Amino acid sequence: MSLWTAAEIAATTGGTATADFTVDGVSIDSRSVERGDLFVALAGVRDGHEFAAQAIADGAAGLLASKRVDGPSVQVAETLQALEALGIAARDRSSARRCAVTGSVGKTSVTQAIAAGLALAGASHTSVKSYNNHIGVPLTLARMPKATQRAVFEIGMNHADEITPLSRMVRPHAVAITTVGPVHIENFPDGETGVARAKAEIFDGLEPGGVAVLNADNRWFDFLADRARAAGAKVLSFGSGEACAARLTGFEVDGGRATVSAVVHGQPLSYDLLQTGHHWGLNSLCALLMLEAMEVDRATALEALSRFEPLAGRGAEKLVHKPGVPFTLIDESYNANPISMIAGFRTLGARKVEGRRIVALTDMLELGPDGPAMHAALAGPIEDAEIDLVFVAGPLMKSLWEALPTTRRGGYAETAAALAPLVATAIEPGDVVMVKGSNGSRAGLIAQALAALDGPGGGF
């Protein structure tokens, strides 16, 4: 069965179809168009209409456009508004049970862990990549097949008033806030308070009688729980306290796996994960409660969690066989903030290693005027975790460099690209190297460079 017909698209968007066609998917990027897609020509840095012909040549079955284009199309007044209308129509024509995840840290990983459970339970749908903004959310909805039974959506924000319209678009039956912390605070005059208030916007679209899964270990729990209850939600908490619906009692790492011990609704529970980051104790409990709210049975949920592998740039590990110098690379390069940095140090510090514990760090962005101090403050958690060597890149990380004792200083560079060879030449057999930083400060370049050392001839 096709996802959309031209007639359905036209009726939904108030547009006019220039031809009859059917589509099996929806795309906004001509570089990733698949055969049978609807290509939506959005305005942006480049006008999507410029790529319409290429999209058709690459197999798109039709176009959603607001300008004249060559090829079968539905002509609309404004393409983003049309995409939103298509998303809402997809929601309304389906009986799918829907949930949504937000949070300062961990929302993508938790979303995908939930998605793994939904996939085992039946016909499901989820966000791809981190499609969590004003374009990504309606796009994910528009891609949802009518026969979907359960769906999970990731919702993000950089400013106030961004989550409310997206939550109302999804109208979730359950929501989760993984945690609230000092992320994007340069965009909030009242700092972390503003971040918490913005995250609470996810309750604005919650279906009546819905479930809110919240982190009781986070200092904003009471504020968020009050907001959730005011929206009519049933609150389920996860954390380390005895009052939690899902209470973490232990997290033990052995090689590339971890064992979680917990008490869920008063019943002891133990299960294994492929994740070794200590934060995955709470992440997995959040996912369990969300899967419960999505009417997925416990056995299916635990099976999915036991199979769920670390996402690229979010804790994925690689044994790099650099000639004569085998070492373990932990790629945490996708993003960073003070909360996730400290969690990463804690995980690395708890790990048994044959060599040394090394971190390669790049700037954490969008922290506002307190950014330098927040970077310098990482020196304490690094010492607590007994990290042996620290390499840093970027003007903000210079503050951490200056706060480190000389015995821990591995190297400093202005850019990630310049830091990578310094790290590579310092590695010794058996070392474990964690790379972490904000995506915008290019930490991924260091991870890629270290991974490329694998095998004969690897090197700079």
CA 124 to CA 290: how far, in whole Å? 14
Q: What is the three-state SS of the chain?
A: CCCEEHHHHHHHHCCEECCCCEECEEECCHHHCCCCEEEECCCCCCCHHHHHHHHHHCCCCEEEECCCCCCCEEECCCHHHHHHHHHHHHHHHCCCEEEEEECCCCHHHHHHHHHHHHHHHCCEEECCCCCCCCCHHHHHHHCCCCCCCEEEEECCCCCCCCHHHHHHHHCCCEEEECCCCCCCHHHCCCCHHHHHHHHHHHHHHCCCCCEEEEECCCCCHHHHHHHHHHCCCEEEEEECCCCCCEEEEEEEEECCEEEEEEEECCEEEEEEECCCCCCHHHHHHHHHHHHHHCCCCHHHHHHHHHHCCCCCCCCEEEEEEECCEEEEEEEECCCCCHHHHHHHHHHHHCCCCCCCEEEEEECCCCCHHHHHHHHHCCHHHHHHCCCCEEEEECCCHHHHHHHCCHHHEEEEECCHHHHHHHHHHHCCCCCEEEEECCHHHCHHHHHHHHHCCCCCCCCC
Q: Is 180 exposed, middle or buried (0-12, 13-18, 19+ CB in 10 A)?
A: buried
Cβ–Cβ < 8 Å for 17, 74: yes
The per-residue pLDDT for 457 is: 47
Name the residue among 418, 376, 358 with its Cα closest to residue 393: 418
CA 172 to CA 176: how far, in whole Å? 10
Q: Domains in the chain, ordered, with CATH?
A: 4-79 (3.40.1390.10), 94-307 (3.40.1190.10), 316-451 (3.90.190.20)
The per-residue pLDDT for 27 is: 96
Identity of residue 214: L
Tokens for 158, please give them: 């950089």
The per-residue pLDDT for 277 is: 87
The per-residue pLDDT for 455 is: 66
The neighbouring-strand residues paired with 143 are: none
How confident is the prediction along the chain (460 residues), in pLDDT tens digits per residue? 799 999 999 999 999 999 999 999 999 999 999 999 999 999 888 899 999 999 999 999 999 999 999 999 999 999 999 999 999 999 999 999 999 999 998 999 999 999 999 999 999 999 887 789 999 999 999 999 999 999 999 999 989 999 999 999 999 999 999 999 888 778 888 889 999 999 999 999 999 999 999 999 999 999 999 999 999 999 999 999 999 999 999 999 887 789 999 999 999 999 999 998 889 999 999 999 999 999 999 999 999 999 999 888 888 889 999 888 999 999 999 888 898 899 899 989 988 899 999 999 999 998 889 999 999 999 999 999 999 999 999 999 999 999 999 999 999 999 999 999 999 999 999 999 999 998 889 999 999 999 999 865 444 3
Half-sphere exposure of 271 (CA within 13 A, CB side): 26
pLDDT in tens, 283-322: 999 999 999 999 999 999 999 999 999 888 888 889 999 8
Mention every residue, 6+ apart, whose C-beta is less than 8 A from residue 360.
391, 392, 393, 410, 419, 420, 423, 433, 434, 435, 436, 443, 446, 450
